[in-house]
A and B are shown apart, each in its own frame.
Chain A
Amino acid sequence: MCIAFPGKIISIDADNFALIDIGGTRREVSLDLIDQEVAVGDYVIAHAGYALHKVDEEQAKQDLAFLQELIDNEIY
Protein backbone atom coordinates (compact mmCIF):
# COMPACT_ATOMS: atom_id res chain seq x y z
CA MET A 1 0.00 0.00 0.00
CA CYS A 2 2.92 2.31 0.64
CA ILE A 3 3.82 1.87 -2.99
CA ALA A 4 5.37 5.04 -4.40
CA PHE A 5 7.28 5.90 -7.55
CA PRO A 6 9.80 8.51 -8.65
CA GLY A 7 8.31 10.86 -11.25
CA LYS A 8 9.76 13.86 -13.07
CA ILE A 9 7.98 17.18 -12.61
CA ILE A 10 6.68 18.49 -15.95
CA SER A 11 4.80 21.54 -14.69
CA ILE A 12 3.51 23.14 -11.48
CA ASP A 13 0.21 25.04 -11.31
CA ALA A 14 -0.98 27.92 -9.12
CA ASP A 15 -2.90 25.57 -6.80
CA ASN A 16 0.35 23.78 -5.83
CA PHE A 17 -0.30 20.73 -7.99
CA ALA A 18 2.42 19.26 -10.18
CA LEU A 19 2.10 17.20 -13.32
CA ILE A 20 4.64 14.38 -13.10
CA ASP A 21 5.83 11.79 -15.58
CA ILE A 22 6.36 8.28 -14.21
CA GLY A 23 7.93 6.20 -17.00
CA GLY A 24 5.60 7.69 -19.61
CA THR A 25 2.47 7.83 -17.43
CA ARG A 26 1.39 11.31 -16.37
CA ARG A 27 -0.19 11.97 -12.98
CA GLU A 28 -1.26 15.06 -11.11
CA VAL A 29 0.06 15.23 -7.56
CA SER A 30 -0.33 17.77 -4.79
CA LEU A 31 2.84 19.41 -3.47
CA ASP A 32 1.18 20.27 -0.14
CA LEU A 33 3.14 17.64 1.82
CA ILE A 34 6.63 18.02 0.42
CA ASP A 35 9.03 19.92 2.68
CA GLN A 36 11.74 20.65 0.12
CA GLU A 37 11.88 23.25 -2.64
CA VAL A 38 10.99 21.62 -5.94
CA ALA A 39 11.08 22.83 -9.53
CA VAL A 40 10.28 21.55 -13.01
CA GLY A 41 12.75 18.77 -13.88
CA ASP A 42 13.14 17.49 -10.32
CA TYR A 43 12.23 13.92 -9.48
CA VAL A 44 9.76 13.40 -6.63
CA ILE A 45 8.53 10.26 -4.92
CA ALA A 46 4.75 10.34 -5.11
CA HIS A 47 2.15 8.35 -3.22
CA ALA A 48 -1.67 8.47 -3.25
CA GLY A 49 -1.86 11.79 -5.07
CA TYR A 50 0.85 13.59 -3.08
CA ALA A 51 4.56 14.15 -3.63
CA LEU A 52 6.34 13.19 -0.42
CA HIS A 53 10.04 13.56 -1.16
CA LYS A 54 12.43 15.06 -3.68
CA VAL A 55 14.87 12.41 -4.90
CA ASP A 56 18.38 13.29 -3.89
CA GLU A 57 20.05 12.98 -7.31
CA GLU A 58 23.54 13.58 -6.03
CA GLN A 59 23.09 10.92 -3.35
CA ALA A 60 21.64 8.46 -5.88
CA LYS A 61 24.59 8.98 -8.22
CA GLN A 62 27.10 8.54 -5.40
CA ASP A 63 25.45 5.36 -4.13
CA LEU A 64 25.43 3.74 -7.55
CA ALA A 65 28.99 4.83 -8.27
CA PHE A 66 30.03 3.36 -4.92
CA LEU A 67 28.45 -0.01 -5.72
CA GLN A 68 29.93 0.01 -9.22
CA GLU A 69 33.37 0.76 -7.81
CA LEU A 70 33.11 -2.18 -5.43
CA ILE A 71 32.39 -4.46 -8.38
CA ASP A 72 35.11 -3.01 -10.57
CA ASN A 73 37.62 -3.49 -7.79
CA GLU A 74 36.23 -6.96 -7.15
CA ILE A 75 35.73 -6.12 -3.55
CA TYR A 76 32.30 -7.74 -3.70
Chain B
Amino acid sequence: MKYIDEYRDPALAKALLGRIEKAARGLDRNVSVMEVCGSHTQAIGRYGIRKLLPENIRLISGPGCPVCVTSIHDVDLAISLAARPGVIFATFGDMLRVPGTGSASLQKLRAEGADIRVVASPLDCITLARDNPDKQVIFMGIGFETTSPTVGAMVMRARTLGIANVSVFSVHKVIPPAMQALIHDPAIRIDGFLCPGHVSIVIGAAAYTFLAEAGKPAVITGFEPIDVLEGILMILEQLVEQRPAVAIQYARGVAPEGNAKARAVLEEVFTTRDAQWRGLGTIPASGLVFTDVYQAFDALRRFDVPEIHSIEVKGCCCGDVLRGAILPDECPLFGRGCTPVNPVGPCMVSGEGSCAAYYKYR
Protein backbone atom coordinates (compact mmCIF):
# COMPACT_ATOMS: atom_id res chain seq x y z
CA MET B 1 0.00 0.00 0.00
CA LYS B 2 1.31 3.40 -0.96
CA TYR B 3 2.49 5.56 1.95
CA ILE B 4 2.57 2.48 4.18
CA ASP B 5 4.91 -0.16 2.72
CA GLU B 6 7.80 2.28 2.21
CA TYR B 7 7.71 3.02 5.94
CA ARG B 8 8.21 -0.65 6.87
CA ASP B 9 11.56 -1.09 5.09
CA PRO B 10 13.88 -3.25 7.26
CA ALA B 11 17.05 -1.66 5.81
CA LEU B 12 15.85 1.79 6.80
CA ALA B 13 14.87 0.50 10.25
CA LYS B 14 18.30 -0.99 10.79
CA ALA B 15 20.02 2.20 9.74
CA LEU B 16 17.84 4.29 12.04
CA LEU B 17 18.52 1.93 14.94
CA GLY B 18 22.26 2.36 14.39
CA ARG B 19 21.86 6.09 14.60
CA ILE B 20 19.65 5.77 17.70
CA GLU B 21 22.34 3.67 19.40
CA LYS B 22 24.90 6.32 18.65
CA ALA B 23 22.73 9.09 20.07
CA ALA B 24 21.92 6.97 23.14
CA ARG B 25 25.63 6.45 23.84
CA GLY B 26 26.13 10.19 23.60
CA LEU B 27 23.49 10.73 26.27
CA ASP B 28 25.09 8.38 28.79
CA ARG B 29 22.01 8.38 31.06
CA ASN B 30 18.55 6.85 31.21
CA VAL B 31 16.00 8.55 28.97
CA SER B 32 12.21 8.15 29.12
CA VAL B 33 10.21 8.86 25.99
CA MET B 34 6.43 8.95 26.27
CA GLU B 35 4.01 8.26 23.45
CA VAL B 36 0.62 9.89 23.86
CA CYS B 37 -1.34 8.00 21.27
CA GLY B 38 -2.88 4.55 21.33
CA SER B 39 -1.88 3.98 17.70
CA HIS B 40 1.76 4.57 18.67
CA THR B 41 1.37 2.13 21.56
CA GLN B 42 0.08 -0.45 19.11
CA ALA B 43 2.81 0.19 16.54
CA ILE B 44 5.56 0.00 19.19
CA GLY B 45 4.18 -3.34 20.42
CA ARG B 46 3.49 -4.78 16.99
CA TYR B 47 6.94 -4.04 15.58
CA GLY B 48 8.78 -4.93 18.80
CA ILE B 49 10.39 -1.51 18.92
CA ARG B 50 10.75 -1.46 22.72
CA LYS B 51 13.10 -4.45 22.60
CA LEU B 52 15.16 -3.05 19.73
CA LEU B 53 16.13 0.12 21.56
CA PRO B 54 19.32 0.60 23.60
CA GLU B 55 19.00 -0.23 27.28
CA ASN B 56 19.04 3.35 28.45
CA ILE B 57 16.06 4.37 26.26
CA ARG B 58 12.72 3.58 27.85
CA LEU B 59 9.39 3.96 26.09
CA ILE B 60 6.38 4.63 28.29
CA SER B 61 2.75 4.92 27.26
CA GLY B 62 0.79 7.99 28.25
CA PRO B 63 -2.91 8.82 28.29
CA GLY B 64 -3.34 8.33 24.52
CA CYS B 65 -6.21 5.88 24.44
CA PRO B 66 -9.56 7.71 24.65
CA VAL B 67 -11.46 4.67 25.90
CA CYS B 68 -8.85 4.13 28.63
CA VAL B 69 -8.92 7.68 29.99
CA THR B 70 -12.73 7.78 30.15
CA SER B 71 -13.74 7.81 33.81
CA ILE B 72 -15.77 4.94 35.19
CA HIS B 73 -18.56 7.41 35.94
CA ASP B 74 -18.78 8.32 32.25
CA VAL B 75 -18.85 4.62 31.37
CA ASP B 76 -21.74 4.20 33.84
CA LEU B 77 -23.55 7.19 32.31
CA ALA B 78 -23.19 5.65 28.83
CA ILE B 79 -24.64 2.36 30.07
CA SER B 80 -27.52 4.23 31.73
CA LEU B 81 -28.32 6.14 28.53
CA ALA B 82 -28.10 3.00 26.40
CA ALA B 83 -30.53 1.19 28.71
CA ARG B 84 -33.33 3.72 28.13
CA PRO B 85 -36.36 2.45 26.24
CA GLY B 86 -36.81 3.87 22.75
CA VAL B 87 -33.10 4.57 22.36
CA ILE B 88 -30.61 3.39 19.75
CA PHE B 89 -27.18 3.83 21.30
CA ALA B 90 -24.43 4.17 18.68
CA THR B 91 -20.77 3.85 19.55
CA PHE B 92 -17.32 3.05 18.18
CA GLY B 93 -16.59 -0.61 18.79
CA ASP B 94 -13.84 -0.35 21.38
CA MET B 95 -16.25 1.15 23.94
CA LEU B 96 -18.42 -1.99 24.06
CA ARG B 97 -16.42 -4.06 26.52
CA VAL B 98 -15.18 -1.32 28.81
CA PRO B 99 -16.27 -2.27 32.31
CA GLY B 100 -18.36 0.09 34.40
CA THR B 101 -19.33 -0.27 38.03
CA GLY B 102 -20.00 -3.89 39.03
CA SER B 103 -18.49 -5.09 35.73
CA ALA B 104 -21.49 -3.85 33.74
CA SER B 105 -20.73 -3.03 30.10
CA LEU B 106 -22.48 -1.95 26.91
CA GLN B 107 -21.82 -5.41 25.51
CA LYS B 108 -23.59 -7.11 28.41
CA LEU B 109 -26.44 -4.64 28.12
CA ARG B 110 -26.74 -5.43 24.42
CA ALA B 111 -26.92 -9.15 25.20
CA GLU B 112 -29.85 -8.31 27.47
CA GLY B 113 -31.67 -6.73 24.55
CA ALA B 114 -30.66 -3.06 24.45
CA ASP B 115 -30.35 -1.60 20.95
CA ILE B 116 -26.65 -0.78 20.79
CA ARG B 117 -25.02 -0.34 17.38
CA VAL B 118 -21.36 -0.21 16.48
CA VAL B 119 -20.69 2.49 13.89
CA ALA B 120 -17.54 3.34 11.93
CA SER B 121 -18.44 7.01 11.49
CA PRO B 122 -20.56 9.53 13.39
CA LEU B 123 -22.28 10.10 10.02
CA ASP B 124 -23.92 6.68 10.39
CA CYS B 125 -26.04 8.26 13.15
CA ILE B 126 -27.75 10.50 10.60
CA THR B 127 -28.77 7.45 8.59
CA LEU B 128 -29.88 5.65 11.76
CA ALA B 129 -31.96 8.65 12.87
CA ARG B 130 -33.61 8.96 9.44
CA ASP B 131 -34.38 5.25 9.24
CA ASN B 132 -35.79 5.18 12.78
CA PRO B 133 -37.87 8.35 13.21
CA ASP B 134 -39.69 6.95 16.24
CA LYS B 135 -36.40 6.27 18.08
CA GLN B 136 -33.86 8.52 19.76
CA VAL B 137 -30.33 7.93 18.47
CA ILE B 138 -27.62 8.70 21.04
CA PHE B 139 -24.01 8.70 19.87
CA MET B 140 -21.16 8.20 22.32
CA GLY B 141 -18.86 11.09 21.43
CA ILE B 142 -15.44 9.84 22.46
CA GLY B 143 -11.97 10.64 21.22
CA PHE B 144 -9.36 13.36 20.93
CA GLU B 145 -8.97 16.14 18.38
CA THR B 146 -8.80 13.71 15.44
CA THR B 147 -12.28 12.44 16.18
CA SER B 148 -14.12 15.35 17.79
CA PRO B 149 -14.29 17.41 14.54
CA THR B 150 -16.01 14.47 12.81
CA VAL B 151 -18.64 14.44 15.56
CA GLY B 152 -18.96 18.23 15.38
CA ALA B 153 -19.41 18.04 11.59
CA MET B 154 -22.09 15.35 12.00
CA VAL B 155 -24.01 17.50 14.50
CA MET B 156 -23.79 20.52 12.18
CA ARG B 157 -25.12 18.37 9.37
CA ALA B 158 -27.97 17.05 11.53
CA ARG B 159 -28.90 20.63 12.43
CA THR B 160 -28.86 21.73 8.79
CA LEU B 161 -30.94 18.74 7.74
CA GLY B 162 -33.38 19.31 10.64
CA ILE B 163 -32.83 15.88 12.14
CA ALA B 164 -34.04 16.18 15.72
CA ASN B 165 -33.87 12.60 17.02
CA VAL B 166 -30.09 12.45 17.30
CA SER B 167 -27.96 13.56 20.25
CA VAL B 168 -24.42 13.04 21.53
CA PHE B 169 -23.08 12.01 24.92
CA SER B 170 -19.76 13.85 24.74
CA VAL B 171 -16.78 12.59 26.69
CA HIS B 172 -14.43 14.15 24.15
CA LYS B 173 -11.12 15.32 25.52
CA VAL B 174 -8.28 17.48 24.29
CA ILE B 175 -4.67 16.28 24.54
CA PRO B 176 -2.40 19.26 25.34
CA PRO B 177 -3.82 19.92 28.85
CA ALA B 178 -3.14 16.27 29.78
CA MET B 179 0.48 16.60 28.62
CA GLN B 180 0.74 19.80 30.62
CA ALA B 181 -0.50 17.94 33.71
CA LEU B 182 2.06 15.16 33.15
CA ILE B 183 5.10 17.42 32.90
CA HIS B 184 4.09 19.04 36.18
CA ASP B 185 3.62 15.73 38.00
CA PRO B 186 6.69 15.38 40.26
CA ALA B 187 6.26 11.59 40.37
CA ILE B 188 6.88 11.20 36.65
CA ARG B 189 9.99 12.08 34.68
CA ILE B 190 9.60 12.27 30.96
CA ASP B 191 12.48 13.47 28.79
CA GLY B 192 10.62 13.79 25.52
CA PHE B 193 7.31 13.18 23.79
CA LEU B 194 6.27 11.36 20.63
CA CYS B 195 3.30 13.59 19.83
CA PRO B 196 0.19 12.07 18.24
CA GLY B 197 0.32 12.28 14.44
CA HIS B 198 -3.37 12.30 13.70
CA VAL B 199 -4.40 14.61 16.55
CA SER B 200 -1.76 16.96 15.16
CA ILE B 201 -3.36 16.93 11.69
CA VAL B 202 -6.00 19.08 13.38
CA ILE B 203 -4.20 21.01 16.13
CA GLY B 204 -0.88 21.61 14.33
CA ALA B 205 2.60 22.05 15.81
CA ALA B 206 2.03 25.27 17.76
CA ALA B 207 -0.19 23.38 20.24
CA TYR B 208 2.96 21.80 21.74
CA THR B 209 5.08 24.92 22.16
CA PHE B 210 4.66 24.70 25.94
CA LEU B 211 6.55 21.38 25.92
CA ALA B 212 9.62 22.83 24.21
CA GLU B 213 9.46 25.80 26.59
CA ALA B 214 9.51 23.34 29.48
CA GLY B 215 12.66 21.76 28.00
CA LYS B 216 10.92 18.70 26.52
CA PRO B 217 11.50 17.65 22.91
CA ALA B 218 8.14 17.17 21.18
CA VAL B 219 8.16 15.31 17.88
CA ILE B 220 4.93 14.82 15.92
CA THR B 221 5.32 11.27 14.69
CA GLY B 222 3.64 8.92 12.22
CA PHE B 223 2.56 5.35 12.82
CA GLU B 224 4.72 3.05 10.73
CA PRO B 225 7.89 1.55 12.23
CA ILE B 226 10.16 3.89 10.25
CA ASP B 227 8.13 6.85 11.51
CA VAL B 228 8.36 5.78 15.14
CA LEU B 229 12.11 5.07 14.95
CA GLU B 230 12.80 8.39 13.26
CA GLY B 231 10.63 10.17 15.85
CA ILE B 232 12.63 8.60 18.68
CA LEU B 233 15.89 9.52 16.95
CA MET B 234 14.77 13.13 16.55
CA ILE B 235 13.99 13.32 20.28
CA LEU B 236 17.36 11.84 21.23
CA GLU B 237 19.23 14.19 18.92
CA GLN B 238 17.44 17.17 20.45
CA LEU B 239 18.47 15.90 23.89
CA VAL B 240 22.10 15.44 22.79
CA GLU B 241 22.20 18.94 21.35
CA GLN B 242 20.22 20.31 24.30
CA ARG B 243 17.86 22.10 21.95
CA PRO B 244 14.31 21.05 22.83
CA ALA B 245 11.84 22.02 20.12
CA VAL B 246 8.59 21.05 18.47
CA ALA B 247 9.41 19.13 15.30
CA ILE B 248 7.40 17.22 12.72
CA GLN B 249 8.61 13.76 11.69
CA TYR B 250 5.21 13.00 10.06
CA ALA B 251 5.46 15.81 7.50
CA ARG B 252 3.51 13.95 4.81
CA GLY B 253 0.51 13.87 7.15
CA VAL B 254 0.73 17.03 9.22
CA ALA B 255 0.91 20.65 8.16
CA PRO B 256 2.60 22.88 10.77
CA GLU B 257 -0.53 25.01 10.98
CA GLY B 258 -2.87 22.02 11.37
CA ASN B 259 -6.35 21.92 9.86
CA ALA B 260 -8.07 25.29 10.42
CA LYS B 261 -11.38 24.10 9.01
CA ALA B 262 -11.60 21.21 11.49
CA ARG B 263 -10.65 23.57 14.33
CA ALA B 264 -13.39 25.99 13.22
CA VAL B 265 -15.92 23.16 13.44
CA LEU B 266 -14.67 22.35 16.94
CA GLU B 267 -15.02 25.97 17.97
CA GLU B 268 -18.48 26.28 16.49
CA VAL B 269 -19.88 23.17 18.16
CA PHE B 270 -17.88 22.66 21.34
CA THR B 271 -16.49 24.59 24.23
CA THR B 272 -14.01 23.32 26.83
CA ARG B 273 -14.65 22.60 30.46
CA ASP B 274 -12.88 20.72 33.25
CA ALA B 275 -12.95 16.98 32.72
CA GLN B 276 -12.26 13.90 34.79
CA TRP B 277 -9.56 11.62 33.34
CA ARG B 278 -8.98 8.14 34.62
CA GLY B 279 -5.65 8.18 36.44
CA LEU B 280 -5.01 11.88 35.97
CA GLY B 281 -7.96 13.30 37.92
CA THR B 282 -9.66 16.53 36.94
CA ILE B 283 -7.78 18.54 34.31
CA PRO B 284 -8.89 22.13 33.65
CA ALA B 285 -10.40 22.92 30.24
CA SER B 286 -9.70 19.43 28.89
CA GLY B 287 -13.20 18.19 28.05
CA LEU B 288 -15.57 19.21 25.24
CA VAL B 289 -19.24 20.13 25.82
CA PHE B 290 -21.68 21.73 23.39
CA THR B 291 -21.81 25.48 22.84
CA ASP B 292 -25.12 27.29 23.49
CA VAL B 293 -26.18 26.99 19.85
CA TYR B 294 -25.78 23.20 19.87
CA GLN B 295 -26.98 22.39 23.39
CA ALA B 296 -30.10 20.75 21.99
CA PHE B 297 -27.82 17.93 20.82
CA ASP B 298 -26.44 17.24 24.30
CA ALA B 299 -27.77 13.84 25.42
CA LEU B 300 -27.25 14.74 29.08
CA ARG B 301 -29.62 17.70 28.64
CA ARG B 302 -32.16 15.86 26.54
CA PHE B 303 -32.54 12.93 28.93
CA ASP B 304 -32.88 12.75 32.70
CA VAL B 305 -30.00 10.67 33.89
CA PRO B 306 -30.24 9.29 37.43
CA GLU B 307 -27.48 10.05 39.90
CA ILE B 308 -24.94 7.25 39.69
CA HIS B 309 -22.50 6.30 42.41
CA SER B 310 -19.60 4.77 40.51
CA ILE B 311 -17.14 2.43 42.15
CA GLU B 312 -13.66 1.76 40.72
CA VAL B 313 -12.59 -1.85 40.33
CA LYS B 314 -10.42 -2.93 43.23
CA GLY B 315 -6.80 -3.65 42.38
CA CYS B 316 -6.93 -2.18 38.86
CA CYS B 317 -3.88 0.03 38.20
CA CYS B 318 -5.06 1.55 34.90
CA GLY B 319 -4.74 5.00 36.44
CA ASP B 320 -1.04 4.54 37.25
CA VAL B 321 -0.41 2.94 33.85
CA LEU B 322 -2.04 5.87 32.05
CA ARG B 323 0.16 8.37 33.90
CA GLY B 324 3.23 6.36 33.01
CA ALA B 325 3.90 5.85 36.73
CA ILE B 326 4.09 2.06 36.29
CA LEU B 327 4.47 -0.27 33.33
CA PRO B 328 1.49 -2.56 32.54
CA ASP B 329 3.24 -5.72 33.75
CA GLU B 330 3.91 -4.06 37.12
CA CYS B 331 0.17 -4.21 37.91
CA PRO B 332 -0.57 -7.21 40.15
CA LEU B 333 -3.59 -8.13 38.03
CA PHE B 334 -1.70 -8.11 34.69
CA GLY B 335 -2.02 -11.51 33.00
CA ARG B 336 -3.54 -13.04 36.13
CA GLY B 337 -6.97 -11.60 36.94
CA CYS B 338 -6.83 -9.29 33.92
CA THR B 339 -6.39 -10.50 30.34
CA PRO B 340 -7.76 -9.32 26.97
CA VAL B 341 -10.40 -12.09 27.17
CA ASN B 342 -11.45 -11.10 30.69
CA PRO B 343 -10.35 -7.49 31.10
CA VAL B 344 -10.65 -5.83 34.50
CA GLY B 345 -9.69 -2.33 33.38
CA PRO B 346 -10.06 -0.39 30.12
CA CYS B 347 -6.32 -0.49 29.31
CA MET B 348 -6.69 -4.25 28.77
CA VAL B 349 -9.88 -3.88 26.69
CA SER B 350 -9.00 -1.60 23.83
CA GLY B 351 -6.52 -2.92 21.27
CA GLU B 352 -4.64 0.35 21.72
CA GLY B 353 -4.67 0.22 25.51
CA SER B 354 -1.13 -0.17 26.81
CA CYS B 355 -1.96 -3.28 28.88
CA ALA B 356 -3.55 -5.00 25.88
CA ALA B 357 -0.58 -4.10 23.67
CA TYR B 358 1.89 -5.33 26.32
CA TYR B 359 -0.05 -8.57 26.73
CA LYS B 360 -0.40 -9.27 23.03
CA TYR B 361 3.22 -8.58 22.12
CA ARG B 362 5.07 -9.64 25.31
* Residues of A participating in the B interface, judged by any CB pair closer than 8 Å: 1-6, 8, 22-23, 30, 32-35, 43, 45, 47-50, 52-53, 55-57, 59-60, 63-64, 67-68, 70-71, 76
Whether the pair A49, B259 counts as a contact (CB closer than 8 A) is no
Determine whether B6 belongs to the interface, using a CB cutoff of 8 Å to chain A.
yes
Known: A2-B37, A53-B253. A67 touches B2 (CB 8 A): no
Whether the pair B66, A33 counts as a contact (CB closer than 8 A) is no
Whether the pair A48, B196 counts as a contact (CB closer than 8 A) is no
Question: Which of B3, B123, B260 is within 8 Å of A35, CB to CB?
Answer: B260
Whether the pair B1, A53 counts as a contact (CB closer than 8 A) is no
List the A residue with the shortest CB-CB distance to B67: A1
- Residues of A within 8 Å of B298, CB to CB, are none
Determine whether B244 belongs to the interface, using a CB cutoff of 8 Å to chain A.
no
* Interface membership of chain B positions 142-175, coded 1 if the CB is closer than 8 angstroms to chain A and 0 otherwise: 1110110110010001000000000000000000
Whether the pair B259, A53 counts as a contact (CB closer than 8 A) is yes
- Residues of A within 8 Å of B149, CB to CB, are 33, 50, 52
Whether the pair A43, B2 counts as a contact (CB closer than 8 A) is yes
- Residues of A within 8 Å of B142, CB to CB, are 1
CA distance A22 to B143 in the complex (A): 23
- In the complex, the 7 A-B pairs of residues with the closest C-beta atoms, listed nearest first: A49-B121, A76-B15, A35-B261, A60-B252, A23-B1, A2-B146, A2-B198
Whether the pair A2, B4 counts as a contact (CB closer than 8 A) is no
Report the minimum CB–CB distance from B319 to chain A (whole Å).
19
Question: Which of A2, A22, A35, A53 is within 8 Å of B144, CB to CB?
Answer: A2
Report the minimum CB–CB distance from B91 to chain A (whole Å).
11
Determine whether B77 belongs to the interface, using a CB cutoff of 8 Å to chain A.
no
Known: A4-B198, A53-B254. A76 touches B153 (CB 8 A): no
* Interface membership of chain B positions 256-282, coded 1 if the CB is closer than 8 angstroms to chain A and 0 otherwise: 000111100100000000000000000
Would you mind naming 28 contact pairs between A and B with Cβ atoms under 8 Å apart? Answer: A1-B94, A2-B38, A2-B39, A5-B4, A6-B1, A6-B2, A30-B153, A32-B157, A35-B260, A47-B150, A47-B198, A48-B122, A50-B123, A52-B146, A52-B202, A53-B255, A55-B252, A56-B251, A56-B252, A56-B253, A57-B252, A59-B251, A60-B251, A63-B252, A67-B15, A71-B15, A76-B16, A76-B19
